[in-house]
Amino acid sequence: MKGLVFAAAALCVPPFAFLLAQNRRWMRYAFVGVVAAMCLYEATSINFLAHPDYRGTSRGLEVSLAHLMAFSLLGAVAFSGRLRRLVPDRGAALFLLYALLCLPSLSAAENVLFGLFEVWKTALLYVLYLAVRSYLRATDDLRTVLRALAAFAAVNFAVVVRAHVAGVWQPHGLFPHQNSMAVAMNLLGCLFLAGYVEHGAGTRLGRLCLAGFLCAAAAAVRSYSRMALALMPVGYGLAWLLCVVRVRPRRWLARTVPLAVAGLVALAAMAPRIVQRFETAPKESGSTRVELALCAWEMVKDEPLRGVGLNNWGIKINPPYEYAERAGRVRDWGGDTSDALVETVYLLTAAECGIPALLALLAWFAWHLFRCIPLARSLRGTPWAFVPAGLAGGLVAAYLQSCFEWVFRQPLNLFVLVILFAMISYLNELATRRLGDLGNTKSPSRPVAKSPASRLDDSATRRLEATSSRPVVQSPSRQLQS
pLDDT of residue 434: 73
pLDDT of residue 335: 43
List all residues 6 or more positions away from 78 whose beta carbon is below 8 Å from its beta carbon: 17, 21, 134
What is the DSSP track for 277-291?
HHHSS-HHHHHHHHH
pLDDT of residue 441: 53
Q: How far apart are CA 207 and CA 375, in angstroms?
A: 23
Type of residue numbered 10 = A
- In 3D space, the residue among 399, 441, 437 whose CA is nearest the CA of residue 417 turns out to be 399
Residues (pLDDT < 70) of the chain are: 1-2, 247-248, 278-279, 281-285, 330-339, 436-482
pLDDT of residue 470: 43
pLDDT of residue 181: 94
Count of all residues that appear for the chain in the document: 482
Q: How far apart are CA 399 and CA 238, in angstroms?
A: 14
pLDDT of residue 1: 66
Type of residue numbered 408 = F
- In 3D space, the residue among 213, 235, 178 whose CA is nearest the CA of residue 407 turns out to be 178
Q: How far apart are CA 163 and CA 103, in angstroms?
A: 41
The model's pTM is 0.87
Q: Is 43 exposed, middle or buried (0-12, 13-18, 19+ CB in 10 A)?
A: exposed
Cβ-contact 46, 6 below 8 angstroms: yes
Q: Is 400 exposed, middle or buried (0-12, 13-18, 19+ CB in 10 A)?
A: middle
Q: How far apart are CA 313 and CA 336, in angstroms?
A: 16
pLDDT of residue 339: 64
Q: How far apart are CA 83 and CA 127, in angstroms?
A: 13
Cα 196 from chain centre = 19
C-alpha dihedral sign at 351, 352, 357, 363: negative
pLDDT of residue 145: 96
- Tens digits of residue pLDDT in 342-389: 888 999 999 999 999 999 999 999 999 999 989 988 888 889 999 999
Residue extents of the structural domains in the chain: 101-283+351-437
